[in-house]
Chain A
Amino acid sequence: MPIIDPIDLDSANDLGLTQTLESFEDLGEKDAIFPRLLGLVPGYAEAMWNAMAEAHREGGVDQKLKEIMRIQLARTAHDPYFAGLRSKKAIDAGLSEERIEAGCADFENDPQFTPAEKWALRYSYLMYRQPDQVDAAFYDEGKKHFTEAQIVELGGMIAIHYGMQVFMRTVQVGPDD
């Protein structure tokens, strides 16, 4: 069980979080622990999950690529909860576990990834490990593959998901909770 108890589903629905809970089902987690935990601060639950979902599902970059990045980040954060979730939409679109694993391993030398995908995976990999390497030259390389809007989309997605993953790590929500 998490160190902090989430609110129950009935309370979440009573607080008007029904749509948030339904939206969270895309990650295949019926218990919706994350939004119910944030339900302790109702305004946060809706706003934070909407921002995370928007960053992950919308925009101009392939959601399958962002799903690999999200899982890679959760592993960087040592968060088993978000690392164990999978976007139904991304899986339905053809993302396989093998490709997720490849994106979390030696993606630099993996021919299944395009140069653009490798740059994006490098972006999420380095952001919280070696941010000094994410410099002007790094962004110049990214601009060969992505528009500035797409780069900001990726950076924002990385930032908000990693931040919540670090928090979830500390409350120790396991894959079986």
Chain B
Amino acid sequence: MDNFRESPEFAESEKMALEFSELMQFSPESIDETFYERLRVHYTDAEIVELGVFIGFNVGYHTFFRTLDFYPMFLPDGRLVSQDESRRIYGNRPMSHRSVSNSPALDGTSGEAGLPG
């Protein structure tokens, strides 16, 4: 998650896909024609659209689900647990919630913006 660019675990194509995902969530303004050209080194246009739609869908839904206060269904050791047990074990802010703090400042300011008016 945090170190995929340097990690030997991932192929260059996988690093590009992970970067696509990261940028779409946190700085979509940096995804430009040059970035798409870099993606095309590894993927067809159809595969890029597949990735882009998949990422967009997840960016949209995970933020919504986060507001519903869902808890991880699994413990770190892999055991499936209920929402109540998960909340008791993980506390008020489990890691999966902390990993996305305020939503991306899409225009460089909106993360701090309050309500209009």
Contact = CB atoms under 8 A, between A and B. Distances in A.
Interface in A116-142: 122, 125-132, 134-136, 138-139
Max chain A Cβ within 10 angstroms of own Cβ: one of B46, B60, B69, B106: B60
Main secondary structure of the interface of A (DSSP, over half): helix
Nearest to B111: A129
Contacts of B116: 105-108, 125
Contact of B24 (A38, A48, A136, A166): A166
A38 B52 CA distance: 10
A125 B115 contact: yes
Question: Chain A, interface size: which category?
Answer: 35 or more
Interface in B37-58: 45-46, 48-50, 52-53, 55-58
Given A106-B117, A131-B66, A40 B45 contact: yes
Interface in A142-161: 155-156, 158-161
A19 interface: no
B18 to A, nearest CB: 16
Contacts of A76: 106, 110
Contacts of B48: 4
A91 interface: no
A121 to B, nearest CB: 9
A119 to B, nearest CB: 11
Nearest to B63: A131
B46 A167 contact: no
Contacts of B69: 135-136
Interface of A: 3-5, 37-38, 40-41, 44, 48, 76-78, 105-109, 122, 125-132, 134-136, 138-139, 155-156, 158-167, 169-172
Given A160-B60, A163-B58, A170-B28, 4 more contacts: A40-B50, A41-B49, A122-B115, A166-B56
In the A-B complex, list the 9 residue pairs whose CB atoms are closest, starting with the nearest: A163-B60, A167-B56, A163-B56, A106-B117, A159-B60, A134-B67, A170-B31, A159-B64, A40-B46
